[in-house]
Every structure is written in structure tokens, then in C-alpha cells.
């Protein structure tokens, strides 16, 4: 979910197994003023609907978000590389976790002319509380082969909270989850500049107005009847994927990249790199 402006929230993160990622956008609700921890982290992705108004009325700090926004839910499937390990350092060590999140998130943001995000404990707490609602324990089992129980089955769905949100399940480490979201840019049509079900994580990741991220991650002993894996949830503020703002909020890769619409009389789909040399345009 995305807010145009307001108080900064704190967030948490989570990872998953045979990867299924969800993109989602929600309306902004009144949220407590977040306390900010300047750690490395990132957040989530949904698309806002201009026909809906945020409820309840946000606190004074968030009054800037008066424009109507739209909501949409996206479900995307992908296959993560590597095998999830219950003892993955970037998931079990708090400092490595935040560093991996911030470093990988800001890496992609810098490539799309977006400023670095900071870690927000309020957002992280929200992500963590969502796991509590799902019944996922805070501490992983001593072995990934622990017998699954009903309370530790993963339920991959969005929290319906007031922030932007990205979900991932089954990644081998935190960085691979963020890379999975970021690499969706290969499918994003910068020319069309609009929301896509298979690129929503990417657009939230590099959304220019987003300044804070907070994540949480917990181990799922069983997912979709299979083995366990890390479940990662990242919250973003202000949220991205706002209808009508993709053109200004999601920029092309600084050194080129992205997909463009078919060009040429044969309708070929190509990626163009344009260089200006002495007043001449060179295409390649």
C-alpha cells in the first residue's frame, strides 16, 4: 500500500519456499507515528485505487494523503534459487537481516533514480504482528525437518494493511528475495507506465516516493503440503503502485534497461539504447 505523505511507519520482513510472491496495495489507515531506526531494509508493493478514500482519517502527519487511492491484489508465482535453510544467517541474525534488506533494496532503487530508504521499526513491527496473526512462531525450529503442525503452515496472502507490501516465500536468503522482486523489471513496460501483476513487486521496490521500509521473516514448517521455508514480508511507506503515478514514480534504469513496446514495421519487440554523439542520435 502507498501513502502520498505522512508519518513514517516501521516495518518487518519475511521469506518463503517454493516461491510465491504477492503484490498488493491497500488504503492508508491511521497509524501511530513510527520511530525510525536507520538500518538497511526495504518494503512492499500494491496498487492504489483512486475511487477509495483512506479510512480512518490519518493523523495530522499524514494529512497530505488526501487524494483518493485505488487498491488491487496481485498473486505471482516464481521459483527461487537455492534451498531454504532454517539457519540462514540473513534471516536469523537481526543485523544481517536489516543490512541485507537495505543494501539489496537500495541497490535497485539507485539504479532507477530513487533515493535510499531507511529502516522503520514501526513498519517492521507491523510485519511481525501479521505473522503473529498467521500463527507463525517467532523462533524457528532447530531443524527444517521438524514435523509440521497446523499452526505453522504458511498462508501466503496480503495483510490488507495500510502500507505498501511485498511478500516472498522459499528464498535461500534475504538478498535472493529482494533480487526476485527487483528482477521483475525485465518484464516491466516503462513506456506504458502502469501496474502489472507480474511487475508489482519491482515497482513498489523502486517507487520514488517511498522513504521507509520495515520487514519481518519467519520460518514456515510446511507450505502447500511440502517442506518448510522462510516467509518474508516487507512493508513500505509511503506506499507505491498508485494509479496514475507510475510514469513519475518508476524511472527507467539509469544506465538503460527495461522493456519497451514493439517497434518497427514488423512489430518486433526490442530494447533500444539511445546515445547522443555530437548532435546525432545513435540507436543500437
Convert the pLDDT of each residue in 9-24 to its tens digit. Answer: 533 333 332 333 444 4
pLDDT band at 268 (very low <50, low <70, confident <90, very high): very low
Over residues 183-195, the mean pLDDT reads: 96
Report the 3 state secondary structure along 2-26. CCCCCCCCCCECCCCCCCEEEEEEC
pLDDT of residue 267: 31
Q: Are 221 and 152 in contact (CB under 8 A)?
A: yes
Residue 59, pLDDT > 50, answer no
> Is residue 56's pLDDT more than 60?
no
The percentage of residues in the chain with a pLDDT greater than 90, rounded to a whole number, is 38
Length of the chain in residues, anyone?
284
Residue 137 has pLDDT above 70, yes or no: yes
Which of 71-75, 105-109, 124-128 comes out lowest in average pLDDT?
71-75
- Give the C-alpha separation, 266 to 125, whole Å: 52
Q: How many CB atoms lie within 10 A of CB 35?
A: 12
Reported confidence tier of residue 262, pLDDT bands at 50, 70, 90: very low
Read off the pLDDT of each residue in 229-250 and give the average, rounded to a whole number.
95
Higher pLDDT, 251 or 35: 251
Residue 148: DSSP 8-state = P
Higher-pLDDT residue of 112 and 9 is: 112
Q: What is the pTM of this model?
A: 0.64
Indicate if the pLDDT at residue 116 is higher than 90: yes
Q: What is the pLDDT of residue 170?
A: 84
pLDDT number for residue 181 = 97
pLDDT at 269 over 80: no
Amino acid at each position: 500500500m502507498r501513502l502520498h505523505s505522512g508519518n513514517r511507519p516501521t516495518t518487518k520482513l519475511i521469506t518463503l519456499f517454493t516461491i510465491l510472491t504477492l503484490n498488493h496495495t491497500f488504503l492508508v489507515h491511521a497509524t501511530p507515528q513510527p520511530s525510525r531506526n536507520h538500518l538497511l531494509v526495504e518494503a512492499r508493493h500494491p496498487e492504489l485505487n483512486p475511487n477509495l478514500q483512506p479510512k480512518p482519517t490519518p493523523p495530522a502527519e499524514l494529512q497530505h494523503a488526501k487524494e483518493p487511492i485505488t487498491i488491487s491484489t496481485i498473486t505471482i508465482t516464481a521459483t527461487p534459487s537455492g534451498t531454504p535453510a532454517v539457519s540462514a544467517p540473513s534471516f536469523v541474525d537481526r543485523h544481517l537481516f536489516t543490512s541485507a534488506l537495505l543494501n539489496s533494496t537500495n541497490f535497485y532503487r539507485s539504479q532507477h533514480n530513487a533515493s535510499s530508504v531507511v529502516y522503520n521499526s514501526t513498519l517492521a513491527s507491523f510485519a511481525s504482528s501479521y505473522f503473529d496473526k498467521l500463527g507463525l512462531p517467532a523462533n524457528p525450529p532447530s531443524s527444517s525437518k521438524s514435523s509440521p503442525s497446523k499452526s505453522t503452515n504458511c498462508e501466503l496472502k496480503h495483510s490488507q494493511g495500510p502500507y505498501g507490501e511485498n511478500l516472498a516465500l522459499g528464498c535461500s536468503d534475504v538478498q535472493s528475495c529482494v533480487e526476485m522482486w527487483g528482477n521483475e523489471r525485465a518484464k516491466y513496460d516503462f513506456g506504458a507506465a502502469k501496474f502489472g501483476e507480474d511487475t508489482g513487486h519491482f515497482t513498489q521496490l523502486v517507487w520514488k516516493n517511498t522513504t521507509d521500509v520495515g520487514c519481518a521473516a519467519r520460518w514456515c514448517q510446511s507450505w502447500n503440503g511440502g517442506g518448510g521455508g522462510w516467509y518474508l514480508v516487507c512493508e513500505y511507506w509511503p506506499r507505491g503502485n498508485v494509479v496514475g503515478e507510475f510514469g513519475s514514480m518508476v524511472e527507467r534504469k539509469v544506465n538503460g534497461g527495461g522493456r519497451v513496446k514493439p517497434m518497427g514495421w514488423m512489430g518486433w519487440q526490442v530494447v533500444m539504447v539511445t546515445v547522443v554523439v555530437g548532435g546525432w542520435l545513435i540507436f543500437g
